[in-house]
Structure 1
């Protein structure tokens, strides 16, 4: 791959403010450091993202990748972030021939921290069903326990979402941001940059994606673009998310908390090897 110029513009994920608690006592409290970052592609203004700024280079690369505005990693020549002007400049060798048409077609989505998908990406006609990955129930439980060791920003400040690239029960990479789509875009960017030998972790072997946010159509689409066919969330799922998951062969695990979950499109892919004992009230809730 040709050389890539990549800045390293890191900022703290939290800042402290003065608050008064319910007892009238003043104290310092960490809050999520939400910042605007305007993305320019070959000097063309694309979008302004609201982000923590923990890994902005990966965020903008992943955003362009997931929006279909950057077709190949080899086209990427430079990424520069300047927080003084709150801007990220990305330089590529090629732009999509239909760039203006794509930018003119915007679908307002349910995604927090982003809310727009360009170029009718939800149609995603180029994607084919992914190879099926099996998920043992015991592996899911082990992963959920390991994820408790993450969420550092959420634990100290709240107001953020977390996403993780995983290989079965192993957490390969974890990102927090003010929007779940910023987090998944950052991981997508890191995945590509790592493949180019520019920072990142070896996440190419990831076969499972975890998010704290709901499983909407655009979340399923982005994970499918990363070549991952198991998507887990502690939140719920939408109808369009279910439809796209069926189309791309993505196993959805929704409302995954403790020993409870709801598997969709499980077929023979979910291996029930750790069925928990029923507790009082479980059967009644299932009937309801």
Structure 2
């Protein structure tokens, strides 16, 4: 059985900006990190054999008080935070102090969660499974839209983003030495301060849902409020990603990818600001213009084509 501790070292692939102390009543957790990359031999179109790195995907089955709930496909960068964030984003727990311990054992591919007082109505709350659009076919429990009206996010004057701050975030992400840059096949998510100056947390995983859940677990463990933060993802903005960001209290989302119709409608209903197709200095603001302080780029002069 792996040893339990309160301290969680920062493994490669998960990069908090500064150390943060856990909340007063934090769960005890293992540090069961794994190598994130594996080398394999390939042959290219020229018949040349060479060695490349690929992400090392693992299966992790989550048990809560000895009851099997779900199997997550993950890199295993920080599985304890992934499990904590998954429980939080599934609304199975409201606070990390409900959890006594999270023990990950890769020899059996399992995460054993022990709660302090059990989870009320666990069978009923996990009885309905919805297959998500997540990479690897993720699962959420219950009615995604049932809790929308109970979500309260900061007013636009309390949570805003300047265009200059957005561009600074995109430049930070562009310069990141990431697993995706070395091996591809992963999604990355990050949490920024709203002024764009500080990246608080960055994680990559085989799916964007795992990455956002890991950030959610880190926020819960350290008591980080999302109201003055910006969430960044390389993945598309579906309804599930928008809902998870809202549950984390983060009202502004930036994506390198696009948005779905349900994601757009949900963000508009919640008063969230969504940016998509965001890379370099380019972006589209889909919803929540009242949270965005635009600093427009100068229009480029049209190119004249002279007929020959």
With structure 2 as the length reference, what TM-score do the two structures score?
0.84
Deviation at 1:74, TM superposition (A): 1.4
TM-score normalised according to structure 1 size: 0.90
Contact kept? 1:30, 1:157, Cα under 8 Å: yes
Q: 1:256 aligns with which of 278, 287, 290?
A: 278
> Given the superposition, is the C-alpha separation of residues 119 and 215 from structure 1 closer, same or farther in structure 2, using an over 3 Å criterion?
same
How has the CA–CA distance of structure 1 residues 276 and 83 changed in structure 2, closer, same or farther, with 3 Å as cutoff?
farther
Which portions of structure 1, spanning 4 or more consecutive aligned residues, are displaced by more than 4 angstroms? 202-206
Write the deviation string for residues 84-106 of structure 1: whole angstroms up to 9, x where unpaired: 00000111123332211221112
* Corresponding residue for residue 4 of structure 2: none
Distance in 1, matches of 2:301 and 2:210, equals: 38
TM-fit CA distance, 1:108: 2.1
SS in 2 for 1:94: coil
Give 1:59's match in structure 2, choosing from 75, 82, 94: 82
Displacement after TM superposition at 1:23 (Å): 1.9
> Could you tell me which residue of structure 2 aligns to residue 6 of structure 1?
29
CA separation of 1:121/1:275 partners in 2, compared to 1, >3 Å: closer, same or farther? same
Residue aligning to 1:286 = none
Work out the CA distance in 1 between the residues paired with 2:150 and 2:227.
22
Unaligned 5+ residue runs, structure 1?
196-201, 282-288
CA distance in 2, matches of 1:185, 1:209: 12
Coordinate RMSD, CA, aligned: 1.8
State how far apart, in whole Å, the 1-side matches of 2:300 and 2:201 are: 34
Runs of 5+ in structure 2 lacking a partner?
A: 1-23, 304-308
Q: Aligned partners of 1:114 and 1:127: how far apart in 2? A: 26
Matches within 5 A, 1:1-288: 1-2=24-25, 4-124=27-147, 125-132=149-156, 133-150=159-176, 152-168=178-194, 169=196, 170-195=198-223, 207-278=229-300, 280=302
